[in-house]
Structure 1
Amino acid sequence: MGRGDLTNDEWARLKLHLAKTGRRGGRWASHRRVINGILFRGRTGVPWRDLPARFGKWKTLYERHRRWSADGTWDRILAAVQADADAEGRIDWSMVSVDSTSCRAHQHAAGARKKPPRVPGNDARPGQHRPDEGLGRSRGGLTCKIHLAGEGGLRPLAFLITPGQWGDAPQLIPVMERVRVARPGGGHPRTRPDHLGGDKAYSSRQNRRYLRRRQIRHTIPEPKNQRTNRQRRGSKGGRATGFDKTTYKRRNEVERTINALKNSRAVATRYDKRAYIFHGTVTVAAIRLWLRS
């Protein structure tokens, strides 16, 4: 077992959720070795062609990562691992925080085709491709942004990839709609935390109305301009926003979760051209965080 490879305990928890056969009925070869290679690439950020020979052919690793990113296999594995953790009581629902982080895009991440080529019989091609591929341009160059909801145990519950110039407030609702932790015994999945924390970038009337409708208590500071505008309108401006400094201190948990996620260099710097492949790269890093807990 090399540095960064799955431990026996991690592999025992992961292999329960892996398919035994491929799309044509043949058996997948060496799941553990291939996944270790994908984890190595995510942790180090090396080009696929430069992967060590001990992981096998680089093309096999890339194609499996691309295919599982496209058909949602990585997403299903992440959901299954989260469900296992929730069944064991290892998810801290008392406080879920939202935040975003910018990821610089490498020059190799640019230049994807506007329309992906159609591959006959390829059932692993995503149904839809983003026209922007999740890339935005700013003074620093090409960037993308990860919007994330993290639980109190410093692990990601849900995330969303957008271009780097997109704002945080409009993404709160889409991210919260992605929080769905299945219950092994059946029934509706868990989608609502006890409390939600966020910085002032998430303060908007629409977001607060959404959280009240879902009966989610929240601690989001009100920016000075919003407070001034509310006070200027008098009784029509609505009630003052409640704010608890003690609860707000727990918002550092999502920042630490992002820091742990970006320990994977292929997450901190985006090398993937396609947004769905980069989404898969981030998902693999999230799965590793859940397996290590």
Structure 2
Amino acid sequence: MGRSRGGLTSKIHLAVDGRGLPISIRLTPGQAGDNPQLLPLLEHIAIPRPGPGRPRKRPDNVVADKAYSHPSTRVALRRRGVGFTSPERADQIAHRHSKGSRGGRPPAFDATLYAHRNVVERCFNRLKQFRGLATRYAKRAAYYQAEITIAATILWLRNDLQDTA
């Protein structure tokens, strides 16, 4: 009998706000690629507005690592009017260069904006403070997802307590 999705080979895909608090979480098998998970991850974002109105569903900008960098992702986010900052992978650069002048220009990359990607890494580090997440005791995906949700809720509550103090 093999390991389930919540076992040692699972990945957590995480979208965080500017303060490093999780706003969307997705759990996938470890062998699944990162890039196909970006758009579904962004679809689950819903930021309530102050006062009446629909929740905000679209971020101003997405800052991601190379694993999420793919031309199809760039096109999809451009259609939605979302800025995307991610370094190009070496194989994509080589493919663009092999096409010569038909390869087009390299995508825009803002290094100062990309430097803020560390808020995601800091959020992962805060989540790893929860022993059950760091050691992955949960065997089933549903239990592991529940642990992640509880840990994210605790992070939000801790932040609210710090804001009021």
Q: TM-score range by the shorter chain?
A: 0.7 to 0.9
Aligned match of 1:183 in 49, 57, 82?
49
Aligned match of 2:29 in 139, 163, 175?
163
Aligned match of 1:173 in 39, 51, 60?
39
SS where residue 9 of structure 2 aligns?
Answer: strand
SS where residue 272 of structure 1 aligns?
Answer: coil
* Equivalence for 1:146: 12
Aligned match of 2:133 in 267, 286, 292?
267
Distance of 1:200 and 1:282 partners within structure 2: 24
Shift of 1:205: 1.3
Q: Contact between 2:6 and 2:138, CA under 8 Å: does it hold in 1?
A: no
Matches within 5 A, 1:1-293: 133-135=4-6, 142-183=8-49, 185-293=51-159
Q: Contact between 1:134 and 1:162, CA under 8 Å: does it hold in 2?
A: yes
Shift of 1:281: 0.9
* Equivalence for 2:162: none
Amino acid at match of 1:216: V
TM-score of the superposed pair, with normalisation by structure 2:
0.87
Count matched residues: 159
SS where residue 152 of structure 1 aligns?
Answer: coil
Distance of 1:184 and 1:248 partners within structure 2: 29
Shift of 1:166: 1.7
For 1:54-109, what per-residue CA distance to the aligned partner results, in whole angstroms no more than 9, with x for missing partners?
Answer: xxxxxxxxxxxxxxxxxxxxxxxxxxxxxxxxxxxxxxxxxxxxxxxxxxxxxxxx
Give the direction of change, closer, same or farther, for the CA distance of 1:133–1:174 in structure 2 (3 Å limit). farther
Larger Rg: 1
Shift of 1:187: 2.3
Distance of 1:133 and 1:177 partners within structure 2: 25
Amino acid at match of 2:61: H
RMSD of aligned Cα (Å):
1.9
Distance of 1:280 and 1:224 partners within structure 2: 37
For 1:245-265, what per-residue CA distance to the aligned partner results, in whole angstroms no more than 9, with x for missing partners?
Answer: 111110111000110011111
Shift of 1:183: 3.1
* Equivalence for 1:18: none
* Equivalence for 2:163: none
| Identical positions, percent | 49
Q: Which moved more, 1:181-190 or 1:212-221?
A: 181-190
Amino acid at match of 1:148: L
Shift of 1:237: 2.4
For 1:153-185, what per-residue CA distance to the aligned partner results, in whole angstroms no more than 9, with x for missing partners?
Answer: 011110101112222111111111111123353
Q: Contact between 1:199 and 1:220, CA under 8 Å: does it hold in 2?
A: yes
Q: Contact between 1:219 and 1:244, CA under 8 Å: does it hold in 2?
A: yes
